[in-house]
Structure 1
Amino acid sequence: MKAIIAEKPSVAREIAQILDANNRKDGYFEGNGYCVTWALGHLVSLGMPEDYGIRGFDKASLPIFPHPFILTPRKTKPANSKNFQPDPSALKQLKIIKNIFSQCTSIIVATDAGREGELIFRYIYDYLKCRKPFERLWISSLTEKAIQEGFKNLKKGSEFDGLYDAAKARSEADWLVGINATQALSIAANNDVYSLGRVQTPTLALICQRFQDNKNFKQKKYWQIQLQHRKDYLNFTSLSNQQWEDKKQAEQILKAIEREGKATVEDVAVNTVKEQSPLLFDLTELQKEANRKLGLSADEVLQTAQSLYEKKFITYPRTGSKYIPEDLWSEIPELVRIHNQTDSFKQAISTLKFGNFNKRIVNDLKVTDHHGLLPTSKIPSALTASEKAIYNMIVYRLLESLSEHCSKEVSHITIKVHHYEFSIKGSKILSKGWRAIKGLLSDEISTNLDNNSKNNSDNNQTQEPQLIELPEFKKDDELKISTAKLQEKLTSPPKLYTEADLLSAMENAGRHIEDKEQQKALANIGIGTPATRASIIETLITRNYITRKSKTLIPTDKGEKVYDLIKDQKIVNVQMTAEWEMALHQIESKELNSNHFLSDIKNYTKEITQELLSLNIPQENIPELKCPKCQQHNLIIKDKIVKCPDEQCQWILFRMICGVQLSINNITSLITTGKTPIIKNMKSKNGKKFEAYLILKDDLATSFIFNNQ
């Protein structure tokens, strides 16, 4: 008998059906010489400090360097318990897997084909002390054809030792940095718990730094002059290249220009620009696009894409590549023909030239573990709104990538009045190319041109004139000035991060390094991976370090407090985190020994532990408030809850109310007077903002009172 282990029951079910192993048992399928079971995600993980006999925050035990690391079944914290305990469902499934492994002759690994999928299996394999030989099912979609092809071409398990070494090194590095840094900062903060991490803390630093830059930005007024012109029956505008901070000076210049009444063409630059078709989506690019266009979070996009993958409608979503290998190119025309049977895509596909598709997406060297995101040959039905939106994005992106470039003529005209220069910008489409797929023309072109031509010095972002088709110009032509007016503008602060912006910053962390040689080496290295960036953002939200406000990500008071404590410490170093990602890639390709990497991590951990322990953190002024229920004990005020320490009393108040964290002043007022000051910017279940007073009712539960009550 051969054992097969998948990552989820749904995937195990698909494999079992294809292999005719349809006898359903408790925790597995059986039949035709196979036993197909599943892992339920991370069933086994690295042990916590208490598994090494270290309990509570103990300065003397830091830094903690387990040797060897202990593997333990997944743990949960049951209700009414202070301690983590083994998850009963994990223990049960591990017992089933152990029994199956003991009876099989060999194992086929069918967990997700990536770093985390490999780690999930290897940790189970090592924890159970299994020594059976194993092979790897490595597939990029869950269609019947892909699974059958995968079983015909099983790979040796040893081919993925580098992948496992990288996954294990990443797991152990995160443990060393996260556990030691968290304990060190918590000890320095008088046992207030502040969680830190190898990737989450530099990510928090990015958000906090941008937020503070935005908050501290001093807006300044400046003025530009806009001119109206008409030539060959076309109206258009020009904008002064110069900006004036002195309004009176700008008004004097405006009067002089009005008196002159005409401008002279000084320079005419007309260029034909070829705008290449976009590449396929990788996960990060899909998340960024869906955040911008649909307002979905990175995690929502990942979960939606994973659902589409498990329903066999798209290929493996956790990919970091935008290309396909040469041997997959022959399947693309048939994939397009299949989607031509769907009304949604017929119009777009009619613009393509069959037999003459653009092959820009084909590049064997740039395909990583998996190729770029593609739809499969299975046409979906009964999708949710978000699934349909994401699926359509992936299909349209494929069609765009197969199209020709978009060709446009871009004009940049410089005119002069006295010695003041003005610019006129225009554009006209010569060949629509890939932009015809969804009809994205002037709006996208305008955006691209504006982004390329903005003057960002000192945050003075010049607003460009609207892009239009222009008449012909020759040097020394005279242009009449129909009207001239002064435009008052404000310098713009750095934009707060949207989720799309943050994903870009994480993905391109290496590009912002000042040292040019290091920047070159790390140009395409980010922090985190496409598969983990969404979970990093969600972790920061779960830990109440950041929150979503409209479309932006901003730090909470707690997040800013943590950042202010550690912003000058090594743990926020984005460059170092990017270098580690490069090292993990080298471990995966067997260019670097994982022991060397972990040795560097341990040295770094010693340094940050010492730095954090030496911080002088003043205690927050927590008031002594009597429990309103028992009137005997002082309340314990924590970051998330306020509660009575008496287990018989059990009175509790959660500090997060409708998206707003109750301040110490709010809590004090509520307990002492029964009513808080008015709390603003709370959000109802339907997403609408409101403000209200929070009160303690007679039964000591909380309720709202509104201004009109």
Structure 2
Amino acid sequence: MKVIIAEKPSVARDIAAIVGASNRKDGYLEGNGYCVAWAFGHLVGLAMPQDYGITGFQAENLPILPSEFKLLPRQVKDGKEYKPDPGTMKQLKVIRELFNKCERIVVATDAGREGELIFRYIYSYLECNKPFDRLWISSLTDQAIRKGLENLRPGKEYDNLYGSAKARSQADWIVGINASQALSISAGHGVWSLGRVQTPTLAMICSRYLENKEFKPQTYFQFRLHTAKDEIQFAVISTERYNTKQDADTILERIRSSESVRIVNMETKQGRQEPTLLYDLTTLQKEANSRHGFSADKTLSVAQSLYEAKLISYPRTGSRYISDDVFAEIPALISMLSNHSSFGNYAKTLSEASLNRRSVNDKKVTDHHALIITENTPKDISADQCIIYDMIAARLLEAFSGKCTKENTNVSLDAAGVPFSVKGSVVLIPGWRAVLNAPDDEKGEDDVSTLPFLSNGDVLPINGTDLLEKQTNPRPLHTESSLLSSMETCGKDLTDEAEREAIKESGIGTPATRASIIETLFSREYIIREKKSLVPTNKGLVVYLAVRDKKIADIGMTGEWESALNEIASGEMNADTFHRGIAVYAAQITTELLGSKIEGGNTKESCPCPKCKNGQIVFYPKVAKCNNEDCGLTVFRNKSGKDLTDGQLKDLLTKGKTGIIKGFKSKKNKFFDAAIAFDEAYKTVFEFPPRNKKRK
């Protein structure tokens, strides 16, 4: 008998259908010489400090560096303690029994670093020594599963991948545990969370936020001049900036008195723009955020559901290329899209002989190729699934289309000794841009679409002038799209696609983990969303200000660790070398953080917690919350349509109730006045003022 172990039940059912295991048992499917079982993600993980006999936060215990890491089943919180999850224990028992009875194991967890870790941790925890093979597939279509089962690879071939996954897991444990405990000890109260990738990511958000808020705009002036030729009107912009209105007004009068503008130089060139590459996960997440407002986590979740529905290839990919053997399938996929309601007519125009091969490169395909659709046609999918599917399908058409050919014109002009310029661009052959009629992202704010036929020396009339008062602008706050770009390029602001591709191997996090890192910052209450922007909370800024000059926040160093993990996966680096480096790093950051200061746990208002007496109540924009996680007293500011001020919150927390507050609104939209008070369980209640009795 062979045991196949998948990452989740839905994938196990798909594989079981192929191998003929149709007999349903408790925790697995059986039949035709196979038992197909499943995990529920990470069933087994690294033990916590208390499992090594280390309890409480004490400086003398740091850094905590286990000589040998222990594995334990997934834990759940039970009061103040963590205990093994009953569902996990039940499934591990099923897997143990199957492993003991089988002759060989087929590993069918997700074909990537984390999927490998999920299986290997289960295998190690159960102390299994049965031989195993690897099912490595990039989609869950029946054809892909059959082909993968016919071409199973020896499990030993993926030992380096496991080494990389294990090194990542242990590094995150060492850095996260030691850094978090060190900062908590330094703060003197509360529990603070830091992480190997989490903290540099927070640093990028906070540094951009502070840079934006502290930016002092500078006013400057430019001129816009209106002219025309052959009845085609257009505007040109002065190339120089003027710092005072007085200087600008003087020069503007000179321009107006000249009455004409002369063309000094004109250049017209044809340019060809290559189609954009296929999506990897990060690029899909960035564009889904920019175009549709999807969070990175939502995009991954929707893409994963499409993968499990057999409609797209493996989503957690870091490659934007496909191999030659996959390219052979592209004509059939394009033909399938000829029935698509939005770009079906375009798909019919693509011929197999003229397909662009820019996205085809065997050497640049990593664990998985770029995101593409499968041969299955979507039916009854949700609106969100439709958006992501259509993005991937449209990108497939764009990637294999011809270049976009444009005619670009640059014109330099002179009016009364003041230089002006204008750019024009005309699309001659839309090529790949015709799929979605994509706007020209290279076009500047003041560029025009069409210009008349112009020649050097032409003298044109001045039909009007405008004085433009402008201000310098700060870099915008991070959105999830821009943050993903910064994580991918280690904080370097790169706009060129080739440069981004070249540096992405040294980014922080991986395509598979970046969404969860951002979500962790939300769950820690370090950041919030304001429309599309990511804004640090008071708590997040406190952490950042405490660590911004420390190694734990060093984006470049985190990127170097990620490169090292890739080298372990490829066999270029020994995992022990990496581990020794992480141990040294942990000792350094522990020393740094133990000497840091957290000023009161906040930068605004705070007060002692009336419930636990140990923590500090920290005031945030929407809530006031105790920083003692065992207490967790939370007071929401908004009560019946009215936000409590810091002063009112302080009265409630220090005196047990506020004064009478006017203007609350009932469910029947009637206004009333009341005080806010705590009941015995520290829940907020209204206390109403006594009514005045009417005199007879």
TM-score exceeds 0.5: yes
SS, match of residue 236 in structure 2: strand
Deviation track 1:664-698 (CA, whole Å, cap 9, x = no partner) reads 6453233437349999xxxxxxxxxxxx9993487
Task: Tell me what 1:415 maps to.
Answer: 413
Q: Are positions 1:268 and 2:266 aligned together?
A: yes
| AA in 1 matched with 2:321 | Y
Task: Tell me what 1:169 maps to.
Answer: 167
Task: Tell me what 2:373 maps to.
Answer: 375
| Aligned with 1:330 (options 303, 311, 328) | 328
Task: Tell me what 1:152 maps to.
Answer: 150
Task: Tell me what 1:669 maps to.
Answer: 651
| Counterparts of 2:627 and 2:167, CA distance in 1 | 42
- Are 1:305 and 1:317, in contact at CA under 8 Å, matched by a contact in 2? yes
Write the mapping of 1:283-682 to structure 2, written as runs, cut at 5 A: 283-440=281-438, 444-445=439-440, 447-450=441-444, 464-509=445-490, 511=492, 524-620=505-601, 623-624=607-608, 626=610, 634=613, 636-637=615-616, 652-654=633-635, 665-671=647-653, 672=655, 674-675=657-658
Change (3 A) 1:595 1:340: same
| Counterparts of 1:282 and 1:213, CA distance in 2 | 31
> 1:618: how far off?
4.0
- Are 2:271 and 2:408, in contact at CA under 8 Å, matched by a contact in 1? yes
- Are 1:498 and 1:552, in contact at CA under 8 Å, matched by a contact in 2? yes
Write the mapping of 1:115-134 to structure 2, written as runs, cut at 5 A: 115-134=113-132
Task: Tell me what 1:4 maps to.
Answer: 4
Aligned pairs, number? 663
Task: Tell me what 2:19 maps to.
Answer: 19
| Counterparts of 1:486 and 1:548, CA distance in 2 | 37
SS, match of residue 84 in structure 1: strand
- Are 1:670 and 1:694, in contact at CA under 8 Å, matched by a contact in 2? no
| Counterparts of 1:703 and 1:226, CA distance in 2 | 61
Change (3 A) 1:25 1:408: same
Change (3 A) 1:61 1:396: same
> 1:195: how far off?
0.4
> 1:352: how far off?
1.9
Change (3 A) 1:638 1:71: farther
- Are 1:511 and 1:524, in contact at CA under 8 Å, matched by a contact in 2? no
Change (3 A) 1:318 1:644: closer
- Are 1:351 and 1:436, in contact at CA under 8 Å, matched by a contact in 2? no
- Paired-residue identity, %: 47
| Counterparts of 2:147 and 2:590, CA distance in 1 | 50
- Are 1:190 and 1:619, in contact at CA under 8 Å, matched by a contact in 2? no
> 1:294: how far off?
0.5
SS, match of residue 554 in structure 1: strand
Change (3 A) 1:139 1:294: same
SS, match of residue 222 in structure 2: strand
- Are 1:313 and 1:379, in contact at CA under 8 Å, matched by a contact in 2? yes
Task: Tell me what 2:690 maps to.
Answer: none
- Are 1:512 and 1:519, in contact at CA under 8 Å, matched by a contact in 2? no
Change (3 A) 1:661 1:355: farther
SS, match of residue 391 in structure 1: helix
SS, match of residue 393 in structure 1: helix
- Are 1:305 and 1:390, in contact at CA under 8 Å, matched by a contact in 2? yes
Task: Tell me what 1:38 maps to.
Answer: 38
> 1:85: how far off?
1.3
- Are 1:351 and 1:437, in contact at CA under 8 Å, matched by a contact in 2? no
Change (3 A) 1:83 1:664: farther
SS, match of residue 56 in structure 2: coil
Write the mapping of 1:171-320 to structure 2, written as runs, cut at 5 A: 171-320=169-318
Deviation track 1:442-469 (CA, whole Å, cap 9, x = no partner) reads xx21x3232xxxxxxxxxxxxx424221
SS, match of residue 450 in structure 2: coil
- Are 1:667 and 1:676, in contact at CA under 8 Å, matched by a contact in 2? no
SS, match of residue 623 in structure 1: strand
| AA in 1 matched with 2:607 | P
Task: Tell me what 1:460 maps to.
Answer: none
| AA in 1 matched with 2:533 | T
- Are 2:266 and 2:455, in contact at CA under 8 Å, matched by a contact in 1? yes
| Counterparts of 1:356 and 1:194, CA distance in 2 | 57
| AA in 1 matched with 2:657 | G
Task: Tell me what 1:687 maps to.
Answer: none
Deviation track 1:353-382 (CA, whole Å, cap 9, x = no partner) reads 343211111100000000000110110111
| AA in 2 matched with 1:601 | I
Q: Are positions 1:91 and 2:89 aligned together?
A: yes
Write the mapping of 1:99-118 to structure 2, written as runs, cut at 5 A: 99-118=97-116
| Counterparts of 2:503 and 2:82, CA distance in 1 | 39
| Counterparts of 1:110 and 1:590, CA distance in 2 | 23
- Are 1:141 and 1:315, in contact at CA under 8 Å, matched by a contact in 2? yes
SS, match of residue 281 in structure 1: coil
- Are 1:510 and 1:524, in contact at CA under 8 Å, matched by a contact in 2? no
SS, match of residue 448 in structure 1: coil
| AA in 2 matched with 1:594 | A
SS, match of residue 253 in structure 1: helix
- Are 2:477 and 2:533, in contact at CA under 8 Å, matched by a contact in 1? yes
Change (3 A) 1:18 1:667: same
Change (3 A) 1:50 1:328: same
| AA in 1 matched with 2:73 | P
Deviation track 1:167-189 (CA, whole Å, cap 9, x = no partner) reads 00011111111100000000000
> 1:638: how far off?
5.1
SS, match of residue 51 in structure 2: helix
> 1:636: how far off?
4.8
| Counterparts of 2:645 and 2:256, CA distance in 1 | 58
Deviation track 1:572-603 (CA, whole Å, cap 9, x = no partner) reads 11110111111111100101001001111111
> 1:656: how far off?
7.8
> 1:702: how far off?
3.6
| Counterparts of 2:55 and 2:642, CA distance in 1 | 33
> 1:420: how far off?
1.2
Change (3 A) 1:585 1:382: same
Q: Are positions 1:28 and 2:12 aligned together?
A: no
| Counterparts of 1:356 and 1:238, CA distance in 2 | 40
In structure 1, runs of 5+ residues without a counterpart are 451-463, 628-632, 680-691
Task: Tell me what 1:688 maps to.
Answer: none
| Counterparts of 2:674 and 2:84, CA distance in 1 | 42
> 1:480: how far off?
1.0
> 1:608: how far off?
0.6
| Counterparts of 1:400 and 1:288, CA distance in 2 | 17
Q: TM-score, normalised by structure 2?
A: 0.90
> 1:523: how far off?
6.4
Change (3 A) 1:252 1:43: same
| AA in 2 matched with 1:332 | I
- Are 1:522 and 1:579, in contact at CA under 8 Å, matched by a contact in 2? no
| AA in 1 matched with 2:209 | F
> 1:278: how far off?
1.1
